[in-house]
Amino acid sequence: MINAPVSISSLLSAARPTISFEFFPPKDVSGFETLRTSFAELQRFNPDFVSVTYGAMGSNQESSLAVVKELSSKVPTIAHLTCIGATETNIQTLLSEYSQAGVAAILALRGDTPKDFVGNPLGDFQTANDLVQFVQGSSFEVGVSAFPEKHPESPTLAHDLAVLKIKQESGASFAMTQLFFDIDAYFELVSAARLAGITIPIVPGLMPIANAKQVLRMADMSGANVPGHLVERLNSAADEDAARNIGMNFSVELAKGLLSGGAPGLHIFTLNHHRATAELIETAGLA
């Protein structure tokens, strides 16, 4: 168990860039074993913290909680928490569990209604900021989302920034970004945020492109723009190994560019596997 509470925002404000990993709750026992192996392999990089995702409308609540409990005894852990469709009682129950598990922070999110859901989800929370305010009343540090290429429902980036500022005023002390592949989009977001009076650290989320097809699909789902030249090169690669090399080289350059440009760290989306993440860290010289 981690005894001293760790401040994620302090880690992200330190001179040394952080290395951290995102995991998702596995569906079955073998997925849990894969996650355990990956986590154990990645421990050699001494991650500053990890985060664990949480399904919208509590769809994988038990599995997420199980992963959070296991990892938070080994490394500072951020529990993602979505509020759409949840009641204050649901959330309070989970917060008590997270508190007992010793989690470092909550990433307060709205979540999305599943595509097959009909009607409006009932619940006590409308936006992520409602959850920020609710969690703020407890002992947790609170982080929030940020979108280098704007949230798909937002009219403009300026709108997103106004929302982010409201969350900062509600007590959020750090932000983590959606995946992106356009380095300028991240630095433009940070510059615009600073001009708007947003001072909290904004850590970039980085998805290593090891499996090009899978990553292009995820980019499409999240609305992340993949540079045309990269798509062309991936699509014209001779085989999967060649595509992997192209994708990983791009990811290494993105990682290096983010850190040399002043990003506070890298939050790497592991997809519960260690190989691409370890390769990225080693090739980019971050270990």
Q: How far apart are the first and last CA of the chain?
A: 25
Q: Is 63 in the site for ligand FAD (CB under 6 A)?
A: no
Is 22 assigned a catalytic role? yes
Residue of 142, 120, 125 whose CA lies nearest to 8: 142
The residue count for binding ligand FAD (CB under 6 A) is 25
Q: Which stretch binds ligand FAD (CB under 6 A): 68-76, 96-104, 126-134, 191-199?
A: 126-134
- Rule CB under 6 A: choose which of 25, 26, 111, 204 binds ligand FAD: 111
Least separation in angstroms between residue 234's CB and ligand FAD is 24
Tokens of 267: 């939050």
Q: How many CB atoms lie within 10 A of CB 1?
A: 8
Task: Compute the distance between CA of residue 208 and CA of residue 179 in angstroms, rounded to an integer.
Answer: 10
Q: Does 110 bind ligand FAD (CB under 6 A)?
A: yes
| Footprint on residues 128-157 left by ligand FAD (CB under 6 A) | 128-129, 145, 151, 153-154
Q: Which is nearer to ligand FAD, 44 or 159 (CB)?
A: 159
Q: What are phi and psi of 198, to 5 degrees?
A: -90, 120
Helix, strand or coil, per DSSP, at residue 246? helix
- CA atoms within 13 A of residue 16's CA, in its CB half-sphere: 8
209: amino acid identity, one letter: I
Q: Catalytic residue among 22, 41, 188, 240, which?
A: 22
- Active centre residues (catalytic): 22
Q: Using CB under 6 A as the criterion, which residues of the chain lie in contact with ligand FAD when the complex forms? A: 53-56, 80, 82, 109-112, 127-129, 145, 151, 153-154, 159-160, 163, 166, 176-178, 205
